[in-house]
Amino acid sequence: MNLAIFDLDNTLLDGDSDYNWGLFLVKEGLVNQKSHEASNKKFYADYNSGKLDIYEFTEFQFRFFKNNPRKFLDKLLERFIDEVAKSMITKKARHLIQEHRNNGDKLLIITATNSYITKPIGNLLGISDLIGTDLEEVNGEFNGKVKGIPSFKEGKIDRLNLWLKQEGIIFKDLEQTFFYSDSHNDLPLLRVVSNPVAANPDEILEKEASKNKWPIIFLR
């Protein structure tokens, strides 16, 4: 069996779902525009430069989930998926996924973005298995804390290993493993799989891919 792993933001999506969620909240008047946009831009820049403190970021992002009831959040998320996320999925991304599906490969999305936002996007892509940074819940409501290990940088490897164990899959027994990503933040996992692919790569990843003779593709 082969395993095809996909990053989500700026890989299968034309843009970043985390960042666009923030813009959506601003547009809806649900957060203070000036302060939220400033923080959103700062964290996005930190991510792109490889300097993101994932716990500082989740504290910022999860505050909105903590301060609002789940029923309201669920309805808001439905609108975000319909009005924003759907249009971010590219035809080339869908085609790539279908190629792996036709080959009988097991499909997995692994993303640093929280799983609450990204699981519905995975469903749109026909991929039910998704690893994201999880939000802790108490009695069905979010408490603003991270549950377990954030799926970021080396944490993606830790979370992948936990998922493989749950699925009863032994990594070394897989015939081929693919990982598609746009970001140098994913270099730890890219170096582990048998078939690393730089998809819409940032400058640092593109240089690393060229040096290692990894395939470089563009899905936009």
Q: Catalogue the active-site residues.
A: 7, 9
* Distance of alpha carbon 207 from alpha carbon 220, whole angstroms: 20
The answer to whether 53 and 46 have CB atoms below 8 angstroms apart is yes
Beta bridge partners of 3: 106, 177
C-alpha span between 24 and 17 (Å, rounded): 10
**DSSP 8-class letter at 87:** G
User: Rg (Cα) of the chain, in Å, rounded?
Assistant: 17
17-27 and 54-66 are packed helices; what angle lies between their axes, rounded to 10 degrees? 40
C-alpha span between 104 and 102 (Å, rounded): 5
Amino acid making up residue 51: K
Q: Are 112 and 149 in contact (CB under 8 A)?
A: no
Task: Give the E-state strand segments of 31-174 in sequence order.
Answer: 106-114, 130-138, 141-147
The neighbour count for residue 98, using CB atoms within 10 Å, is: 12
Backbone angles phi, psi at 200, to 5 degrees: 50, 50
